[in-house]
Amino acid sequence: MMRRLAELLGSMRFAISLLTLICVASAIGTLVRQNEPWVNYVNQFGPFWASWFQTLGVFSIYNAPWFVAVMTFLVVSTSLCVWRNAPKMIHEMKVYRENVRESSLKAFAHRWEGQFSQTPAELQRLVSEWIEHRGYSTRLNARDNGVMIAAKAGSANRLGYLATHLAIIVICIGGLLDSGVPLKLAVWATDKKPVTGAEVASGIPTDSRFGVANPSYRANLLLPEGETSRVAVLNVDQGLLIQDLPFELTLKQFRIDFYSTGMPKLFASDVQVHDPETGKRFDATIEVNKPLIYKGVTVYQSSFDDGGSRVALKGYSLKGDNPLAFDVKGVIGSATELRNRDAVYKLEFTGFKAFNVESMPVNNGSPSEGDNAEAGQSPGNNLNPETSAVGAERTSTMPNQFGAGSSMSVFQGNLASVVGPGVKHDPNNQFVNVGPSVNYKLRDSSGQAREFHNFMLPIAIDGGRFYLVGVRDTPAESFRYLRLPVDDQGGLDGFSRFRAALDDAGVRQSAAQRFATAAFGQSAGSADLVKGVAQGAKKALDRFAGVDSEGLSGLNAIAKMIETTVPEAERQKGTEVIIRLIQGAMWEVYQISRERAGLPKAEPDEVHGKFVQDAQVAYSDLSQFGSPLILQLDQFEEVKASVFQVAKAPGQWIVYVGCFLLVVGVFAMFYIRERRLFFWITELPSGAAIKMGMSTTRKTMDFEHEFEQICAELNRRKAAS
């Protein structure tokens, strides 16, 4: 029974089945994103399948018990294969089989016979010398009726077999040492209890801690600038464990550098290492591709994050008639409470970036495409191009996308630019640092959060300058950006005043009146006209402000108003009139908003004209913005944090030894051909006869060539003799 089991486990059929299983499982692991939050899986597969897949370990397939088991079986199977075959192979390598019987030479598929005039002794010497020169080693077996020369070459081929199969075992064992398994075992054996983030703050209990002696771990360490840590964090299923490090690490500075294209060029952490045991203290720089190795522990630059930057925000209400800004201060990663007249919000500061390099059109367009690329990004920054601060691939998504609509003409146009050096001449876009940005979430009393992404500085788009305020309701969406025009002071106050004024019924009333008077009040007897115009303007402004307009506001409300009140035949003319009405009245709203703030009257020039126009559009868009307030980044004090991976991988060198064996073995297997030659030399009355047989474990064309060559040479010698 045991023997049959061992035979099955060691069989190649079994091994190939395991390999297939590993292939399929691995492929699944690449198709289903691994180790994502549970919610994502439920969204993707539905609760039923998600829980099934969870049970099968599909979401963490490479650590699933059955996957580890398959790997183990592979090791067992390969070991059995080596165990069974190695003695045979080593024996085969050594033996010459010089005792082979003359008669069995006849069974060889490759054989040759011929007679020579030399004496058997002479012939034996010639043949031995000749084939030894060809790279064979020989052994003689003198018998009563003749001499058998047995020769072999390429025996190291068998070593190739041994080396490759041993390599697989060694690599798997080394890999197992560095996998999550030792940690699980250690947690189980020492009964460690994972803690949650909240508990960490109140001190770490010893049974959630691993000492310096832990032989294998891969932990994370987020270190803000200026701070020191002696521990790293291990993520286990339900929480965290703390790993003590054999040294103290202080982050002095984290540096990011960009190429002129906006691609990241350098992520580097200047650290100080302090060894409490020896008191040794030294500086080091950790970069991607340049880890720090000290006391058997390797520290890698794995990503970066905000280390708790302090930000000061200016808040503007988007409802009601108060145009004044209020101040909010906070630290990234923390939260605070915001009260307004009728609600309480939790304000969570989630991210800050001091630089945002975007591909900006030289003339017009918006950076929204660039922002889209960033949409799915969490505040943490991975160092890989895919999600890095300013993604490398963003450039490729920008200008020349070959959508379904474009045609071969683009192709031809681009063809001309392809000759010459490998440099893209793109006069339409350039990379610009658009300044700092902040991410925050506003969570209402029901727990619903809306996320915002605001730029600190105005950005030039479409010939104007705007503050961009991004919003989204779920992390799956990309940000939608609201453009708020810059006022003549370069700030947002102007828009806030305009917005508040427009939302004030009294202001709308007096603006309509002022407009009517200014436009028609000079001529005598125009009182009725003025009154009519004022009424019309008031109505239009009301609608625009969302009063009596079926839930619509802004330009949509006006469009609706035109649709319902102006007969179709007069629509074009009517539309013009209403637009002129609104334009005029809006100008007055603007003027009133300035008066209230004690600002001088605005001259009807291009600057103010454009502002009023943009402000109307922005106001119109507010209805889709959905938030009662915005928070504009006013001041900041950046604190960066570096995220390190701290690893002790005892299996690494075992794996490398295995890899070396593998390479040696693979080349030996393919490029060393094992061959055997047998010459049976007998005495003839006039000379001697040779019966030759040639064999190999693997028939290839090279073998056939060699056989033909050897036969040809023997034939030539036979003729010569």
Partner 1 sequence: MSSTWIDQDASGAQRSVSGKGRWMPKPVHWTDWIFAVLVIAGAGFAHTQYGYAMDGYEVGILWSVVPVVIYMSYRWSSLKALIFAVSVASLLGIGAYGGDLGAGDQKFVLKYLLSSQTAILWMGVLFVTATVSYWVGLIGRSETAQFVGTALTWGAVFFGFTGLFVRWFESYLIGPDVGHIPVSNLYEVFVLFALVTGLYYLYYEQVYNTRQLGAFVMLVVVMAVGFLAWYGIERQAYAIQPLVPALQSWWMKIHVPANFIGYGTFSLAAMVAFAYLLKVYAHASSVKALFPTAGLGVLMFLEPLVFRSEGVSLYWAVYFGIGCVVVGGIVMARRRIADALPSLEILDDLMYKSIAVGFAFFTVATILGALWAAEAWGAYWQWDPKETWALVVWLNYAAWLHMRLVKGLRGVVASYWALVGLLITGFAFLGVNMFLSGLHSYGQL
Closer Cβ to partner 1, 524 or 719, answer by number: 719
Torsion, Cα of 695, 697, 703, 706 (10° steps):
-40
* Least distance CB 291 / partner 1 (angstroms): 7
* Least distance CB 159 / partner 1 (angstroms): 15
* Least distance CB 448 / partner 1 (angstroms): 29
Closer Cβ to partner 1, 159 or 659, answer by number: 659
Contact present, 186 and 657 (Cβ < 8 Å): no
**Cα–Cα distance for residue pair 440/627, rounded to 1 Å:** 13
Q: For residue 409, what is the enclosing H or E element?
A: helix 408-418
Closer Cβ to partner 1, 136 or 515, answer by number: 136
Closer Cβ to partner 1, 334 or 709, answer by number: 709
Q: Within 10 A of 606 (CB to CB), how many other CB atoms are there?
A: 8
* Least distance CB 267 / partner 1 (angstroms): 5
Angstrom distances, CA of residue 382 to CA of 262, 300, 304, 345:
16, 13, 7, 30
Closer Cβ to partner 1, 202 or 289, answer by number: 289
Angstrom distances, CA of residue 473 to CA of 38, 124, 270:
19, 91, 38
Angstrom distances, CA of residue 525 to CA of 514, 516, 529, 530, 677:
17, 14, 8, 9, 127
Q: Within 10 A of 496 (CB to CB), how many other CB atoms are there?
A: 26
Q: For residue 115, what is the enclosing H or E element?
A: strand 110-116
Closer Cβ to partner 1, 12 or 344, answer by number: 12
* Least distance CB 383 / partner 1 (angstroms): 6
Closer Cβ to partner 1, 174 or 224, answer by number: 174
**Cα–Cα distance for residue pair 718/116, rounded to 1 Å:** 6
Contact present, 391 and 373 (Cβ < 8 Å): yes
* Least distance CB 23 / partner 1 (angstroms): 5
Closer Cβ to partner 1, 215 or 276, answer by number: 215
DSSP 603: P
* Least distance CB 50 / partner 1 (angstroms): 20
Closer Cβ to partner 1, 300 or 590, answer by number: 300
* Least distance CB 19 / partner 1 (angstroms): 5
Rounded to 5 degrees, φ, ψ at 428 are: -90, -20
Closer Cβ to partner 1, 19 or 312, answer by number: 19
DSSP 79: H
Strands 629-637 and 640-648: what pairing?
A: unpaired
Residues 499-519: b if buried by 16+ CB within 10 A, e if exposed: bbbbbbeebbebbbbbbbbeb
For residue 442, give every residue at least 6 positions away whose Cβ sits within 8 Å of its Cβ, in sequence order, or none. 338, 345, 346, 347, 348, 449, 450, 452, 627, 629
* Least distance CB 650 / partner 1 (angstroms): 13
* Least distance CB 49 / partner 1 (angstroms): 21
* Least distance CB 391 / partner 1 (angstroms): 9
Task: Please report how many Cα atoms fall inside a 13 Å half-sphere around the Cα of residue 475, on the Cβ side.
Answer: 12
Closer Cβ to partner 1, 261 or 620, answer by number: 261
Q: Quick one: how far is CA 690 from the chain centroid?
A: 69
- Could you tell me which residues are beta bridge partners of residue 466? 459, 485
**Cα–Cα distance for residue pair 224/241, rounded to 1 Å:** 20
Closer Cβ to partner 1, 288 or 597, answer by number: 288
* Least distance CB 97 / partner 1 (angstroms): 20
By three-state DSSP, how is residue 433 classified? strand
